[in-house]
Amino acid sequence: MTFLPIFSSMLITIGISALFKKKKEKLKFNKPVVIIDPFETLLKYKFSLLNLRYIFYRRKYTEEFLFNMGYLYDLVFITDNSLINNKLYTFLDPLGVVKYKFYTSNKKKEIKNILDYNEGIVLSNKDNEKTLNIGNYSNGNLLDVVDFFSSIKLMNVNMIKTIESYKNKDFFKSWNFVQNRIFDMRNMLSFKKYRDIKKQSYIDKINTYKENKQNILNES
């Protein structure tokens, strides 16, 4: 599993707010917004007594997820976890796809301020208003989430009503169940399988990201 060691210090704990906090009136969006607290959905971490530092792990396909989502939506990282820092954000988002990244002591208020004036939702591991619950770090494939949001954009359906239909459900099981049924209905006379088409789709997403990542890093 990919990991990144981050040394825990008073600078991280006390000084982080000045590094990331942005006034909400300066936030400008051209697309619907997806708000993410990386500590809830994309990261897992533990403290190593041996090295006296935190070890961070990315959820599988985090980079590919952010890259593909960034074409469709304006992404915002908001966290109230004081362990956040620039090195950790680069670890999560090496290509800088996420439009805004900041720390706040009142996450609930800042999220409300954004969603009151912009079309968008929250990606979380909890069932809250205007929130799609994708479970904890180890639960499910993030590329399923890309397909879900791609279908919302393609079909031009109401984002809030759509995510509300997944409330109090396992998102990944529910989404794949529905997609499997739709695929079978449309391909009754075909030998193709939903899992095979899905697998190839994910391979394409991963390869596209790898190709673009290398090109972008070479140009920077």
Residue 125 per-residue DSSP state: S
pLDDT in tens, 113-124: 999 999 999 999
Tell me the DSSP string of 137-176.
TTSS-HHHHHHHHHHHHHHT--HHHHHHTTTTS-HHHHHH
Name the domain count of the chain. 1
The CATH number of whichever domain residue 42 belongs to comes to 3.40.50.1000
The boundaries of the domain holding residue 144 are: 3-21+37-219
- Domain membership of residue 27 (yes or no) is no
Tell me the DSSP string of 39-69.
HHHTEEEEEETTTTEEEEEEPTTHHHHHHHH
pLDDT in tens, 107-154: 999 999 999 999 999 999 999 999 999 988 777 789 999 999 999 998
Q: Are 92 and 38 in contact (CB under 8 A)?
A: yes
- Domain membership of residue 26 (yes or no) is no
Residues pairing with 121 in the sheet? 34
- Domain membership of residue 92 (yes or no) is yes
- Domain membership of residue 127 (yes or no) is yes
pLDDT in tens, 41-80: 999 888 888 878 888 999 999 999 999 999 999 999 999 9
- Domain membership of residue 29 (yes or no) is no
- Domain membership of residue 31 (yes or no) is no
- Domain membership of residue 28 (yes or no) is no
Measured distance between the N- and C-terminal CA atoms of the chain, rounded to whole angstroms: 27
Q: How far apart are CA 220 and CA 202, in angstroms?
A: 27
- Domain membership of residue 107 (yes or no) is yes
